[in-house]
Structure formats: C-alpha cells, structure tokens
C-alpha cells in the first residue's frame, strides 16, 4: 500500500461530518452576530421613543422615581418596578385608582 492511497469510506464520512459541523457552527456564529446587530439597530431606533406616537421621551423625576414622559402626546411611561415603587410611596388616591386595574397597594 502506497502513502497516496484513496481514503476509506469511514475517513470520508469522518471528514464530511467534521466539515458539516464546522460550517454549521460558522453559520450559527454569523446568525448570532446578525441578531445582535439587529437588536442594537432596533434599540438605536426605538430607545427613549414613545410607544404611542414615536416622539422622544424625556426622563423626569416624580417623587424620587425616574419616569419617562412623551414630549408630544405627554404620555407617561414606567420602567419595570417603577409602578410598584410609586405605589409604596403613594398610598392614597393613586393607589386606589390603580387597584381598579388589579394592582394591590404595597
């Protein structure tokens, strides 16, 4: 048998599987990079924009809590946990109003 003999079927299968796995991993890396790029682009387009009218949100302080107010339609937007923080501070009127929407006072 010379040193330049044809690879066996098992060797062909082995290298074909390795090549397939390499290409699959490369495709997954490209897909992940594309997804991250798309997320960054979406964030750039939508960060601090009003979900109702699309105009800029302005961050302001209300009872020591940072809330976002639309510069056009004047809608108020709260980040996760901010409503609960407001409820803990305001046990009066706003707490009663919000309890109508299924929120319990802290």
Identify which has the larger pLDDT, 14 or 87. 14
Question: Are 41 and 23 within one domain?
Answer: yes
pLDDT in tens, 45-86: 878 899 889 899 999 988 888 889 999 998 998 888 888 887
How many domains are contained in the chain? Answer: 2
pLDDT of residue 83: 84
Residue 43 forms part of a structural domain:
yes
Residue 52 forms part of a structural domain:
no
* Contact status, residue 56 vs residue 48, Cβ threshold 8 Å: yes
Residue 23 forms part of a structural domain:
yes
In this prediction, residue 106 has a pLDDT band, given cuts at 50, 70 and 90, of very low
Residue 104 forms part of a structural domain:
no
Query: Residue 30 half-sphere exposure, CB side, CA atoms within 13 Å?
Result: 6
Distance CA 59, CA 47 (A): 12
In this prediction, residue 101 has a pLDDT band, given cuts at 50, 70 and 90, of low
Three-state secondary structure call for residue 59: strand
Distance CA 36, CA 29 (A): 11
pTM for this prediction: 0.49
Question: Are 28 and 67 within one domain?
Answer: no
Residue 78 forms part of a structural domain:
yes
Instruction: Identify the domain containing residue 37 by its residue range.
Output: 1-47
């Amino acid at each position: 048998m010379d040193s330049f003999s044809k690879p066996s079927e098992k060797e062909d299968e082995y290298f074909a599987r390795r090549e397939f796995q390499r290409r699959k991993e490369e495709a997954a890396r490209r897909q992940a990079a594309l997804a991250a790029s798309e997320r960054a682009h979406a964030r750039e387009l939508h960060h601090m924009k009003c979900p109702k009218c699309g105009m800029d949100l302005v961050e302001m302080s209300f009872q020591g809590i940072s809330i976002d107010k639309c510069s056009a339609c004047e809608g108020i937007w709260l980040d996760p946990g901010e409503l609960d923080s407001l409820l803990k501070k305001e046990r009066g009127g706003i707490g009663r109003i919000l309890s109508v929407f299924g929120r319990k006072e802290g």
